[in-house]
Amino acid sequence: MSIVEVKVPQLSESVAEATMLTWKKKAGEAVAVDEILIEIETDKVVLEVPAPSAGVLAEIVQPDGATVVADQLIAKIDTEGKASAAAPAAAPAAAPAPAAAPAAAAAAAAGGSKSDVAMPAAAKLLADNNLKTSDVAGTGKDGRVTKGDVLGAVASGAKPAATVAAPAAKPALPQVAAPASAPDLGERPEQRVPMSRLRARIAERLLQSQSTNAILTTFNEVNMAPVMELRKRFQDSFTKEHGVKLGFMSFFVKAAVHALKKYPVINASVDGNDILYHGYFDIGIAVGSPRGLVVPILRNADQMSFADIEKKIAEYGKKAQDGKLGIEEMTGGTFSISNGGTFGSMLSTPIINPPQSAILGVHATKDRAVVENGQIVIRPMNYLAMSYDHRIIDGREAVLGLVAMKEALEDPSRLLFDI
């Protein structure tokens, strides 16, 4: 027997520990070199753990949901072993692992059967949500229910078979199942779900931002007609030339960089009692993902073309949805842009992303009545909001910076001549 150890990959300096998600292989199953064995969630990203060698997964040392640190042993691979067809089937009922007995008990409590078994982490979730294994379609080997299956069922509104449906006039609360501890809640169900590491980290940073920054927000409105006309005029040729659509975000990024060059303090940050001015423009783009809000960075945005920006944003959006963003892609940044308009937001006061000192909030563009030259006209208007740290940015710089963005968007030719 030749054993190769599988360990937790190196984490970033700011990350102390991580959480094991769901094993994609079971003990006794064959694995190929570089095949993904499990994903590990930190408070920033989800890391994939590939198999360092081909062979058989001899032992799973750390189960689903375990808290681990960098370089910790989580599994062992026998490079000379052969997969046993019976091994995976026997694993849930076997007694070697201490968690097997509790898991079986939890599965029994959840209504599982010998041929319809839930994995240990899944069994606990089933019990917590008062579900039976028959309520969830299993995707694991031999139809076993995994943790991911239960989470997906809960998210889609799965309910216990015995639960009485709410009257049609009062639809049940979506994505909620009555907890086992209080089975008779009538029409007022509740569900307690622990925060993911990323969500907890987001909460921590938002509270940190509000408690350490003197946040103030200034607003302005921008007529998006010039940008919309320019975009419509060149969309087809732009897409044909660069293989990506010309969106609005590249205009906002260019306008922001234009303003930051004029007013460098907006691109600065606080370091103790010092103001740290950055001679580069790394723009964070807030992106929604299944795990929560992430802010990947467009590095040296001032040196990027419209096509470069659009391609990078598309790449980050895909990675965010797939959970593939790396720590280095979300580290740093000197200014951020949050586009709530994607979801229909009319106005908001964005919270600064530490250690940055300002953030631009972009909202939905809507036709509105405005006054031009004494006449009421209809224009596609967008409300911009810039939150800034008043400790280092005075109202004058903040207001003029936002005005510079407005002017660049209402007359995009300014971006060509840097005026």
**Which residues have a catalytic role annotated?**
390, 394
Tokens encoding 273: 């009692």
Burial annotation 62-79 (CB, 10 A radius, 16+ → b, else e): bbbeeebeeeeebbbbbb
| Cα separation, 132 vs 109, whole angstroms | 8
**Residue position matching structure tokens 């299956």:** 149
Contact 194, 128 (CB under 8 A): no
Residue at 326: amino acid letter: G
Task: Calculate ∠ Cα 309-312-318, nearest 5°.
Answer: 140
DSSP 309: H
The two most distant CA atoms of the chain are separated, in Å, by 87
Burial class (CB in 10 A: 0-12, 13-18, 19+), 380: middle
Contact 48, 76 (CB under 8 A): no
Among 339, 334, 349, CA closest to 316: 339
